[in-house]
Amino acid sequence: MNTRFCLVRHGETDWNAEKRVQGQIDIGLNATGEAQARALADALHEHEFAAVYSSDLARAWRTACIAVQARKIAVSPAPTLRERHFGVLQGLTAAEAGMANPAAYRLHRERNPDFDYETGESLNRFADRVLTGLATLAQRHAGASVLAFTHGGVLDVVYRAATGRAIDVPRDFTLGNAALNWLDYSGGRWQLIAWADCRHLRAALDELPG
């Protein structure tokens, strides 16, 4: 029996704009991210969901709360939807990481699946955490639709699972803030329905000052 997922990356943060590695550092939404979350409420209005889950990191949780505030459904925390822990590279831009820890940054760029950032999470371990967690939610809501708010790294793992891309090859797909990503899960298999739908965000950005 299929479970349909709508997976949504959190709205923009200042660190997203700065291209700074957030990982599990708890950064809140910026003004653009708040507007994106409000736009999600309109985009999701016509869809019914049996449950809503979110990463417990503030940027995802805030996005979820704004997006579903008009619905009579609670947001449930799902720590398995947290972003990957990037260890020694968290808080750094690419340029800063390359200077502060060139060996770690090289392994990061290579997507080495066993490298754990010295104090973080390897890609293999992260992917297992994400896919196991989502499979549990799918089993819990078999035959229904689930809305889940999460992070770019989580979406990266799920997209690869649905398309057969290896986790250690370069990314060639987008992971937009507050975009809608639709997938079906059944019998241990993912099927991609629609990816990176961000049509609802155009008006949201127009409302920002300046």
CA–CA separation, 138 and 144 (whole Å): 9
- The domains located in the chain, with CATH, are 3-205 (3.40.50.1240)
CA–CA separation, 74 and 53 (whole Å): 9
Question: Residue 5 above 90 pLDDT?
Answer: yes
Query: Residue 62: what pLDDT?
Result: 98
Query: Residue 202: what pLDDT?
Result: 83
Q: Quickly state the pLDDT bin for 72 (edges 50, 70, 90).
A: confident
Helix, strand, coil in percent for the chain, rounding step 5: 40, 20, 40
pLDDT tens for each residue of 38-64: 999 999 999 999 999 999 999 999 999
Phi, psi of 11 (to 5 degrees): -70, 170
Q: Is 21 helix (H, G, I), strand (E, B) or coil?
A: coil
176 Cβ neighbours under 8 A, 6+ residues apart: 9, 196, 198, 201
Q: Could you give the residue numbers annotated as active site?
A: 10, 83
User: Which residue's entry shows tokens 């653009």?
Assistant: 32
Query: Residue 209: what pLDDT?
Result: 53
**Residue with the larger pLDDT of the pair 73 and 196:** 196
Stated pTM of the model = 0.95
Query: Residue 208: what pLDDT?
Result: 58
Query: Residue 83: what pLDDT?
Result: 98
Closest CA to 41 of 24, 56, 62: 62
